[in-house]
Each structure stands twice: as structure tokens, then as C-alpha cells.
A and B are shown apart, each in its own frame.
Chain A
Amino acid sequence: MPAIASKQYSDDVSLLVLLLDTNPLFWSTTSITFSQFLSHVLAFLNAVLGLNQLNQVVVIATGYSSCDYIYDSSLTSNHGNFESNGTGMPAIFGSLLKKLEEFVTKDEELSKEEVSEDRIPSCLLSGSLSMALCYIQRVFRSGHLHPQPRILCLQGSPDGPEQYVAVMNSIFSAQRLMVPIDSCYIGVQNSAFLQQASYITGGVHHTPKQLDGLFQYLTTIFATDLHSRGFVQLPKPIGVDFRASCFCHKKTIDMGYICSVCLSIFCEHHKKCSTCGSVFGQSKLDDASSASDKKRKAPST
């Protein structure tokens, strides 16, 4: 069988790793319901699997406090006939939904334990990206013949600036592995992380305007395999939001101070870099403010 398998391996065999946003705080505020969203996504997954016999799909759920593998099409347990309840649900996705439900329950538990602070209701993108990359790395090391992997990130939650460094690290690893990260953002604000991810890794980023036509968007743009992208034109965004988040307050900034030793970003002037400990010199802009500081200090001491 290995001989036949090699013949069947053509250029357009792909491994799609789907990062599904299951952040409840986001889904409670959208126009489209999670079930509708899920049906679009599942149909899309079916379509991808139908494009080529050897295509693989892996689904990772990105929750509020955790991430987990939900579905892997290469596992034999999924191929077999599942019990169909007489519903319109394709048997193939029965385990997916089951696992999703379990994951959501677990996630809820974890989020309860976590002390709730004022935090942007973002999903754990950095975690799911890392998991995806680990899986892909395993596929790379599995053998000579493997499908071409890519990551599709379906997200609606806003960016969490505290995850900036981790997300950037993941993006650079993906770039190193030559794994493109496609991103489909269905939220309200613009996601700088996803734009940067697609830009750096050579993937496609799109923000669908009509969420009830999500399936159409998915099949038109995100179903193309990597080989076909050489001659199929895909819509590209006009610009990329390259904003970073500062290291001290974790807020998104586009102008700040950078340590010349370790390149850490700060939004305000510091005497010492908190990452590497190097002492900063007096900046020219601060001459006036430091003089006024001295004046203020004198009466207090």
C-alpha cells in the first residue's frame, strides 16, 4: 500500500488545522448564533475533506481559559459509522460535537477558578497556535510523505495584548516552518494579531461583511490548498495593522520607547528596562519634566 499511497499523493494534499473560537463572552454578543456558525464551519470542513481523499482536518477549540484538540480526521475512530440519531447531522462530526461540549464544560470550570479581573474578553489564541504548531511539527517528523499543513484561525474575540509576545513567537515559529496562517475575523474590531500573522507567514486574512454567507467566504477563500494558491487570486487586505502592545501595561500602542539591548517595548519612560535590567540614559524630551520633578520632590522630603 505504500506504493499506491505515494502515487496518490499529489501537490494539493493539505492538512488544515482549524482554530475555533469558543469564547463565550464573544458569542453572547454576536448577531449570528453559535449553532449557525457551527453549521457553516462543519459544512466547510466536509467540503475540504471532499476535495481530496488524503486531506486531513484537525480542529482545536480556543476557549476563554484553555485550548484543546477537538477533532482529528486522521484518527480511525472517526471514519467508522457513528450512531446517527436520524438527524441531519453527518455522522462524521458526531465526535467533534461531543468533544466540543466536554471542552466547554472544562473551560467553564477553569474560568471559575481563575480570579476574575478586568481583562479584555479575548480567547487564548497563543495557546491554540502553539498546539497547532506542535501537531504540525509532529506531522513533519512523521515521514517523507505528508500533506502540506496550514492553519486557519476563525476568531471573533478581540486581541488580548497580554498575549502579544507569545503570539508573536508562535507567528515566527510558523514562519520558520513555512506554515501559512490564514485568518478569518468575524468580530467587530480589527484584530492586529491576526493581520500580522497572515502577513508574516504568507497566509490570507479576510473579514467577512455578511456573516450569514460565512460558508461562501470559507469555501471561496480558505478552501484553496497551498499549491493552487500559486495561480488562484485571493483577496488581500489593503494594509496591515502593525501595532504592538507595551510590556509594562500590556496595552496596544503605536508609539513608545524601546530598550536598545533587548528590544522590549514600553509606553512611558522608565529608568531601567524591566526585562534585561539595563539602565537607560536621560532622554532629551525628559529634561524639562525631570526638572519639574526635582522641584516637586524637594518639599516632600
Chain B
Amino acid sequence: MAGGGQVEKRVKYKSSVKDPGTPGFLRIREGMLLFVPNDPKSDSKLKVLTQNIKSQKNTKEGSNKPPWLNLTNKLGKSHIFEFENYPDMHACRDFITKALAICEEEPNKSAVSTSSEQLSIKELELRFKLLRENSELQRLHKQFVESKVLTEDEFWATRKKLLGKDSIRKSKQQVGLKSMMVSGIKPSTDGRTNRVTFNLTPEIIFQIFAEKPAVRQAFINYVPSKMTEKDFWTKYFRAEYLYSTKNTAVAAAEAAEDEELAVFLKPDEILARETRQKIRRVDPTLDMEADQGDDYTHLMDHGIQRDGTMDVVEPQNDQFRRSLLQDLNRHAAVVLEGRSIDVESEDTRIVAEALTRVKQVSKADGETTKDANLERLERMSRLAGMEDLQAPQNFPLAPLSIKDPRDYFESQQGNVLNVPRGAKGLKRNVHEAYGLLKESILEIRATGLSDPLIRPEVSFEVFSSLTRTISTAKNIIGKNPRESILDRLPKSTKDEVLHVSPTFSSVLSDKKLYMY
């Protein structure tokens, strides 16, 4: 920068874009910006206090536009300065940035000095809150303190437990982890100073340590030996910022330069080790059939980018790339685990150490012994056994024996009925019977058919009984369940009935319909 604390350049001042611009000089000093036109008669002299500048914009070097610097002040008015060349413009811009940063720090300093009074303010707030909630207490307070019987301190001294109880009540309930991702918190960006500010709360620190064990390990290693906590977090957030730009080339370059930064940029080794151990313990005998249709695993993030953009990455920078899915999964795992430590401390180091201790304990529990491993392998081989690779199993065969059917048919023997006649008696009977039979045949041969063959009244009786049998319902039931009323009619009649009344056909063909 030219002239410690002062920059002077030849510029053209434009109040708007269309303005051709008045040539002049721009002088930038601490706290002030002065533009003096060449022509003493023109009245576009400008004096701007850096405090009033809200933001600055500039045209990019590479574009065909001339080097402009656009300053907007708090009132909204914009001043455009056209420089002769880009390096001039960059110098001015940097100077203004520095100036803005300096004037921003000052109000912060004033804020710090009031912190010592804050504790008591906090306590006052607590007191007021208690009084508001408890009307009884408020009455007592009014009675004693306002009538000057007791001083404030004395009043609250006896009620310390009320104050204390309140805070204890707060800490008793364990608040769970937020499911919103920490790395998704957008920092506040400052357009004026081009600064990016991250707000770190203990909550956020805890989440970062829980999700990224490499960061935790680095913290324990580097702080306070190599760098301060503030530097550590600055480096960490620089790494985060580099990630968000998705510029892996830059990330690789910076990692090569800065060793500590590299720790944040590289993939988390501790985490990788943990997951590898977990994988070893997983039962590999799974049904792989379901997985065949899904073939998106070769794409990073399953093809979904965090911001919706697609990026091509060079292979040597691949390890500096991080995927949304990895972050999500890790965050989800941590949230589900819950708070593994009870330490509520402001000190980051204590938190880090406590987390490490817890992780070591769980790691020791999870380690499998040799026997367990053997057992697991055996079980796996049993489950995944393939039938056609086994030795042939020879089942004992029983010969088929079916009885000779002749035995059944030829045995006319039924020791079933107790025929009262003896064997001899039967023979005699048989002989007699045959004799009778032969007699009958001879008789009919001689006499011919009986005349009359059948008596009319007998015939009539038979006819009527048959007709009765046919017409009664009892004969219909049980014979053929598949028959229906229609089937009993002659075919032509059935056709006619069906033709005339199609709506009845479904009713009449119902299997359960009977004629009564």
C-alpha cells in the first residue's frame, strides 16, 4: 500500500453508471475518503467517512468492464469510482476493507468491558424473574425491602436456595442434541470487510467433537502446545470455508502448505477406523438379491449434491472431497447416541478429554475375543452352506412291496356272518335251491309267459306310486347338488324360460333353490 495509512489514486467519479465520470483524485486516509475533482469549478467534491460506508463492490478483473469500485453508504447512495487500471482498484479496495475492519473492532471493545458487570446483571435478572413468577415472594419483597426493613442482599441471602434451585432445576433436565447439523450453520458474512464470522457456543463445540473425532484428537494434541484455542478454531473454520467453496484444488494447495489445516481437510482417520471395526463385526450372510437393482453407489452422494451443483474432481484431490451423505450419517449416529458425557463445562479441553475417555471405554467393550470370532465364522459357514457342494447323502431305502392282488380277489372267505347253518346244511340247501330254479325254468318253457302278465289294478297302483314319488320334494333333495330347477325341465322349455326372463336366470339357476 502506498503511503502508510494513505492511498491516493487518479480516478474518475461517477454518481451513476451512465455518468461519463468526472476525472479527479481519490485520497483515502484512516477514517476518511476524499475525492477531489481536477476541475476546481465542478462541485462533485466528495468526502465520505469510512464509518458511513456500508458495502463495496467492484468489477472483476477478467471481464471486459473497466475497473470500477462501487461504494454504498448507509443512506443508500452509491458512489462509483473508475480507476485507470485493476491493480489501483485492488489497492484501494483492500485499504478500505482494512479501514472498515478497524472501525468495527472499536465498538466490540466497548462491549467487552461491560462483561464484568454482566454476572450481577444476570443475577438481577434472575431475581426479577423469581419475583415475577412468585407473587408471594413479591409481596414479601415489597413488605421488607421497600419499607427498608431488610436490604436486598439480606433478603436474597436467606433465599439463596431459591436462586440456586432454579439453576439446579435447569441442569437436571438433560437437553438432547439438536438434529440440525452444525456444519450447516451459516456464518455471518460481512460484505464490508469481506469477513466471515462464526459463532461458537459450547453446544456447537460438543457437537463438533462428537461427530469428528479427528478434530477432537487434533485439539488435544495442538492446544495449548502448538496454538491457542482461537487459532485452532480459526483454522478449523478456514477448512470448513474451503469445503463450502468446493474448490478442491485450493484445498489441496492449502493442505500442502499448512500441516494443521491439513488435519481438518483430510478425511477423518479415527472415524474410518471405527467404522472398519464395525464392519468386521457385521454378519456377512445377507441376502444380496434385493440390492441388484440399485446401482447408484458408484456415484458420490448417490448423485445428489449438497447445493445442487455437479462438479468434476481431479483424482489426486479426491481425498479432499467430502460428501453430504457422510456428514448426514455421522450426525444422525451421534444424535441417536445422545449425550454420552455429563460434563457441562465451559472448558473445551475437558469436554474433548471426556469424550475421548468415553469412546475408549466403548471401544474396549466392543472388541471381540478370539473365541467369539471363531464362533462367528463357524456360524457363517453353516448358514451359507451350499447344498450341491455337500457330500452325497445316501438315505436308507426301503423296498416297495405290494401285496399280490390275486390274494385278495381269490379269497372268497369271509368269516363274517354267523350263518347258523353248518357246512353240510348249506350244501343241501344249495342243491335244493338249484332244483327249484331248474323247475321254474322248465315251467316257463312249458307254459310260456303268464297271462295276464300283470293285473291292471296292480299296474295302476304302481303308476300312481311312482308319480307320487317323482313329484314329491323329498326325492329331489340330496340326489345331485349340481342340478337345479331348470335342469328338470325339458330342454326346449328351459330355453324358452331363459330367453323370456333373463333376470330370472340367475335366480333360477341358484343351486339352493328347490321346488316346494
State the A residues within 8 Å of B (CB): 22, 24-25, 27-28, 33-36, 38-40, 42-43, 64, 87-90, 97, 100-101, 104-105, 107-108, 111-112, 116-120, 160-162, 165-166, 208-210, 212-213, 215-217, 220-221, 230-231, 233-239, 247, 249-251, 262, 274-277
Residues of A within 8 A of B433 (CB): 24-25, 27-28
A251 touches B416 (CB 8 A): yes
Binds A, one of B141-149, B213-221, B368-376, B435-443: B435-443
**Residue contact B415 to A212, C-beta cutoff 8 Å:** no
Report B405 CB to chain A, min CB distance, Å.
Answer: 8
CB within 8 Å for A88 and B447 given contacts A212-B455, A276-B401: yes
A39 and B403 contacting across the interface, CB-CB below 8 Å: no
On whether the beta carbons of A43 and B409 are closer than 8 Å, the reply is no
Does B459 lie within 8 Å of A216, measured CB to CB? yes
Knowing that A88-B449, A276-B402 touch, tell me 10 more A-B residue pairs with CB under 8 angstroms: A28-B433, A35-B440, A35-B447, A38-B440, A39-B449, A101-B445, A108-B430, A116-B426, A217-B466, A262-B402
Q: Is the CB of B462 within 8 A of A39?
A: no
A234 to B476 alpha-carbon distance, docked (Å)? 11
**Of A28, A35, A234, A249, which contacts B432 at CB under 8 A?**
A28
Chain A residues with CB under 8 A of B277: none
Q: Which of A101, A105, A216 neighbours the largest number of chain B CB atoms within 10 Å of its CB?
A: A216
Report 8 cross-chain contacts, Cβ distance below 8 Å, ordered by A residue: A34-B437, A88-B451, A97-B445, A119-B413, A213-B461, A216-B454, A239-B478, A251-B414
Interface presence of B475 (CB below 8 A) = yes
Is A220 a contact partner of B463 (Cβ separation < 8 A)?
Answer: yes
A212 touching B454, Cβ below 8 Å: yes
Contact B454 A235 (CB under 8 A): no
Which residue on B lies nearest to A97, using beta carbons? Answer: B445
Give A221 to B443 CA distance when docked, in angstroms: 28
Q: Which residues of A contact B461 (CB under 8 A)?
A: 210, 213
List the count of A-B residue pairs having beta carbons below 8 Å apart.
185
Q: Which of B414, B453, B491 contacts A250 (CB 8 A)?
A: B414
Given A88-B449, A251-B416, residue A233 in contact with residue B462 (CB < 8 A): no
**Pick the contact of B436 from A28, A97, A112, A161 — CB < 8 Å?**
A28
Contacts A28-B432, A220-B462, A238-B475 known; A100 to B441 CB distance under 8 Å?
Answer: yes
Chain A min CB distance to B25 (Å): 115
Separation in Å of the B466 CB from the closest CB of chain A? Answer: 6
B451 near A116: Cβ-Cβ < 8 Å: no
B359 to chain A, nearest CB (A): 61
Which of A87, A118, A251, A275 has the largest number of chain B CB atoms within 10 A?
A: A118
Q: If the complex has contacts A24-B430, A25-B429, A35-B444, are A118 and B402 also in contact, measured as CB distance less than 8 A?
A: no
Q: Is B490 among interface residues, defined by CB-CB distance under 8 A?
A: yes
Pair B415/A118 contact, Cβ less than 8 Å: yes
**Neighbour of B412 across the interface among A89, A117, A235, CB < 8 A:** A117
Residues of A with C-beta under 8 A to B455: 212
- The CA-CA distance from A144 to B268 in the complex, in Å, is 93
> Are B434 and A235 touching (Cβ within 8 A)?
no
Most-contacted residue by chain A among B427, B440, B463 (CB, 10 A): B440
Knowing A230-B491, A239-B478 touch, does A275 contact B459 (C-beta < 8 A)? no
